[in-house]
Structure 1
């Protein structure tokens, strides 16, 4: 046992001496290790990706942009490294960029993730269909060290391809300049998926994005008849992002009802100081959202853009047990198909004297006439019509029975019209409601007209009198609801 210990100690000492000699030899004799060629290529490719990601994570430099096309009013420039573009308005010297105003970039203190969003020409949302639970995630070209490939000139602009190496998306984009607009297009035929499922793409979402710097500025959102979100220095706007589907909620893909007015027109815009633009979703509007955020939401820039949806989520039902809502099913997406058509947005640059809400409305009117064939309505009477609603009768709920409330007979309706006509109102549109049996609240009832307000003969006399004065008459009859068993 003692001899075994001694032998081990001797072996250890010998090993240490040999290692020391080897180290001494290596330090004195220069040795060159050659990496295999594929390893060299991999390192070079990695460095290229790092450089691309670094370039995309920052805003482009003006000197990198080259003139690519122009019209009488606009000049288009592009940067091959990032795929961004600049539009110069030759009428007034205004400059519009496809990325946030670089003047305020050093002031941004947001997370690196959102800085990459701001600097990227595309934002993307996707789902991983290999997972059991689908959770939509967002990425961008800079975050993935993406590539700008196949850059080529086309009539009026340029075309290129964005590649997302991590998620595997290939998205071709074309940018061209028109008479007074710049047009961006996602070419649907070239959109490819490999690893993930594409949910939406926001092309150049920060076009014209501006800081609030005391200027007269606002975002125009098509909320109902249109709303303006004025620029403010507000750091607490976290819940004020606007994200609505054009033409309203799609009943095939039910989502959260936020009680907002439906988007009736595929338009949005921005004004900042003496410059403004109106954007129109020219193609793919039925698949698109309008997304807008004032300063303080995700960044300190005011921005607005279009979101091009390629899939929508839906609830896959697995049970009819309505007593446990959380167990109805799970969220899923169509795995085999994406929504079709090219996605085109036109940005109309407004001249300085038209850089306001009225100018935006005029630009959209011109677009509708030129691109959609709309024609101005030719009115017979230039005076503004007065809309008059006449209520014949209604019912008042009672304990034992309802009480009939006679409000306006047909003879009294004639007197009302004559009184207005004699006061100089020469253009009226008359709507008679509550004429059916039971009055205004009796839905589904049909003719005859209730005899207590004049009956059919009285109504015919009223209508003939109104027509003789040149006024149309409409009898309101809400048949979509029926609480009277009318017609049954």
Structure 2
């Protein structure tokens, strides 16, 4: 199913129709309540027996209304910030480590640390300044928390959960010993009879803080739930220092420091790789945190601290507290989950008891910090540093050789829906929406119009259509042209340099599919129940409301992928697009074959390795960081953050990390509420356009599980596709293989994006022309400057 794209459509339609209700606007040093974009109501789609008339998109006149570009859906201009003075190393701290770029100090009585940047003398502290602590008038618990080397949650025998810290639990040091370039301290918490060891070390690249799993001992009736080590490293009280927190929400988001804000109820909690559905089901399962990275800026273009969760990231959260949640401090840190709480049903009426997982989550817990200064001290510098980190760890594909010189047209992604199931008198049958011959016609038409670089994705190509059976088995629908029809299409695309992907998914399955059986192949939760869900949304025909979906066991996923890849290779297929497998990560509690999230991720990596063995290129949808090295094309790149109230800016952090390394594509442009603005956002974020089309009119799908795709007919979209592609290609062709190295918001709605080949791409979102004497950017348009334009 394509619910992900439906949610995107509904989200943006709601923005345009309702004007939003939950956003905040950052204007220089103050926050002003304004229209937001977090609306979850979905419009109904009337279905008839005749094709509906497509309405012209409503484009607001933004010439005089700048509130849109002052909202947290966009990035704010940087105001001139005073120089942040470097503080000195405090009394009582001793040097415990040093490398070429920084020096590490520890107070051996409080175990607090300070980190000095040798480049400019700036000092980062794990405990806020005394003046800020005193000005805050903290209660005893918060004062203890800020002065402790860690805060933690623990479970009692009755599964109740308590938050505390080293000082509040009357912690002691059982052992402290110097290690190479750092210190290892074993802490004892007598109140709950728990011990743990924390290592603080400088290696050649940065500060590494580690909690070895085997050092955790629990001798009483209490068990650790989570640990945050030195969580207040870099904490800032209000706007005492100019800057912001960076969080990896969607494309990326900032929380700017200010003294004038709302009191918030909850912090930001980004579950890395999403909620573990194998423990808690689908509650809070929608996550936009696929990258374990965060940061703090103290003075833009002056000082920044970037954190990367290394070990234990499969069971960690990024937690960010804006000023106004409990205290007036801004702080961000990883929270390592040691155990999870869950609800165990004990009766069919859903009575039950609260429990927690008995075993600790797998592996050590480790976070790395790197210091950035000068021009690298902002979210763009963090993106470059994180790209370098991923490259060093071998987590990205090799950069293409073509990156150095010649320009080539950007790719256009065209998803083509072949067929889907419709209820019949005796059995379901596949209705034809786009035959393989029709697909060739569509691709030919686009190439004749000058779209020379095409990525074609076939959906609903199998004999069971798009949603008759999942995962789809090799075997091509006769109604679409069968094996011979696909062979002709494949030969055509190969002759004309078009990449032809077959779409499949190795994470979702449908009850009744012939290849799989839910009791054998579906994921089991820790409660022993199967993970199942309604496969279709409430906007789909009532005829398919009883279609049950399940999550596929990682073991079965690999076995099916291995079989399919061999068949695809034999059929001459060279490209495969895999749906949710690159982004969904869950544990599986099948007896005798348990997968935790770490081993599940390793299993999906084996799918990537198997594809390489069969010479298949993979396109993945929103892949997590551990799948990037297997990704040739990244589909559905997030171009927005969640726009929570405390977020002040949306930024293209993930696009800046990946541009020049992996081709990435926006979601379907068919479903953009404001095509003009969304097209400019693609250009701003360096994203290639995408469409989903059918030869037949969309109304013919009204009695299929794909009925929510209500505007797909190629004849309706061909002119728009060609026009949009031409515009994005003109903007991004000069920078297609270049690294994105900088981004400046000149004023509200005016953006300059810089690339490492010397090209600058300017985007004007506003309704007025922009001119600064050197460049002119028309209203709602773009301009390209610098480099060697051809």
TM-score range, shorter chain: 0.7 to 0.9
CA RMSD after TM alignment: 3.6
Question: Does residue 97 of structure 2 align to residue 69 of structure 1?
Answer: yes
User: Which position in structure 2 is the counterpart of 1:463?
Assistant: 490
User: Which of the numbers 296, 301, 325 marks the counterpart of 2:324?
Assistant: 296
CA displacement at 1:211 relative to structure 2: 2.2
CA displacement at 1:443 relative to structure 2: 5.0
The DSSP-based 3-state class of the residue aligned with 1:358 is: helix
Question: Does residue 195 of structure 2 align to residue 170 of structure 1?
Answer: yes
- Output the CA distance in 2 between the equivalents of 1:455 and 1:169: 64
Relative distance call for 1:415 and 1:379 in structure 2 (3 A) is: farther
User: Which position in structure 1 is the counterpart of 2:353?
Assistant: 329
- Output the CA distance in 1 between the equivalents of 2:270 and 2:335: 9
CA displacement at 1:363 relative to structure 2: 1.8
The DSSP-based 3-state class of the residue aligned with 1:82 is: coil
- The count of residues paired between Structure 1 and Structure 2 equals 419
- Output the CA distance in 2 between the equivalents of 1:468 and 1:449: 23
CA displacement at 1:310 relative to structure 2: 2.4
- Output the CA distance in 1 between the equivalents of 2:333 and 2:297: 14
- Output the CA distance in 2 between the equivalents of 1:432 and 1:439: 11
Relative distance call for 1:125 and 1:393 in structure 2 (3 A) is: closer
Contact 2:200/2:210 (8 A) holds in 1: yes
Contact 1:99/1:119 (8 A) holds in 2: yes
- Output the CA distance in 2 between the equivalents of 1:404 and 1:200: 50
User: Which position in structure 2 is the counterpart of 1:428?
Assistant: 454
Question: Does residue 219 of structure 2 align to residue 219 of structure 1?
Answer: no
Contact 2:456/2:499 (8 A) holds in 1: yes
User: Which position in structure 1 is the counterpart of 2:181?
Assistant: 156
Relative distance call for 1:332 and 1:150 in structure 2 (3 A) is: closer
CA displacement at 1:469 relative to structure 2: 0.9
CA displacement at 1:305 relative to structure 2: 0.9
Question: Does residue 500 of structure 2 align to residue 473 of structure 1?
Answer: yes
The DSSP-based 3-state class of the residue aligned with 2:207 is: strand
Contact 1:284/1:343 (8 A) holds in 2: yes
The DSSP-based 3-state class of the residue aligned with 1:269 is: strand
- Output the CA distance in 2 between the equivalents of 1:272 and 1:61: 17
CA displacement at 1:85 relative to structure 2: 0.8
Contact 1:101/1:208 (8 A) holds in 2: no
CA displacement at 1:338 relative to structure 2: 3.2
CA displacement at 1:478 relative to structure 2: 6.8
The DSSP-based 3-state class of the residue aligned with 1:63 is: coil
User: Which of the numbers 289, 293, 303 marks the counterpart of 1:267?
Assistant: 293
Contact 2:430/2:463 (8 A) holds in 1: no
User: Which of the numbers 110, 115, 121 marks the counterpart of 1:82?
Assistant: 110
Relative distance call for 1:413 and 1:83 in structure 2 (3 A) is: same
Relative distance call for 1:290 and 1:482 in structure 2 (3 A) is: closer
Contact 2:89/2:114 (8 A) holds in 1: no
User: Which position in structure 1 is the counterpart of 2:223?
Assistant: 197
CA displacement at 1:303 relative to structure 2: 0.7
**Post-superposition CA distance 1:161-189 (Å, at most 9, x none):** 32323223322222111234111122334
Q: Which has the higher contact order (CA 8 A, sep 6+)?
A: 2
User: Which of the numbers 402, 409, 417 marks the counterpart of 1:391?
Assistant: 417
Q: 1:132-147 to 2 correspondence within 5 Å?
A: 133-147=158-172
Relative distance call for 1:369 and 1:103 in structure 2 (3 A) is: farther
User: Which position in structure 1 is the counterpart of 2:72?
Assistant: none
Q: 1:39-438 to 2 correspondence within 5 Å?
A: 62-129=90-157, 133-148=158-173, 150-195=175-220, 196-213=222-239, 217-233=243-259, 236-254=262-280, 257-273=283-299, 274-317=302-345, 319=346, 321-323=347-349, 325=350, 327-334=351-358, 337-372=359-394, 374-378=396-400, 383-392=409-418, 407-435=433-461
The DSSP-based 3-state class of the residue aligned with 2:91 is: helix
Bigger Rg, structure 1 or 2:
1
Contact 1:199/1:310 (8 A) holds in 2: yes
Relative distance call for 1:108 and 1:449 in structure 2 (3 A) is: same
The DSSP-based 3-state class of the residue aligned with 2:190 is: coil
Contact 2:271/2:287 (8 A) holds in 1: no
- Output the CA distance in 2 between the equivalents of 1:90 and 1:429: 48
The DSSP-based 3-state class of the residue aligned with 1:344 is: strand
Relative distance call for 1:486 and 1:113 in structure 2 (3 A) is: closer
Structure 1: gaps of 5 or more residues:
1-59
- Output the CA distance in 2 between the equivalents of 1:97 and 1:90: 15
Contact 1:236/1:297 (8 A) holds in 2: no
User: Which position in structure 2 is the counterpart of 1:50?
Assistant: none
* TM-score, length basis structure 2: 0.48
Q: 1:6-17 to 2 correspondence within 5 Å?
A: none
- Output the CA distance in 2 between the equivalents of 1:187 and 1:81: 22
- Output the CA distance in 1 between the equivalents of 2:483 and 2:336: 55
CA displacement at 1:436 relative to structure 2: 5.4
CA displacement at 1:149 relative to structure 2: 5.1
Relative distance call for 1:425 and 1:187 in structure 2 (3 A) is: same
- Output the CA distance in 2 between the equivalents of 1:210 and 1:476: 47
CA displacement at 1:199 relative to structure 2: 2.2
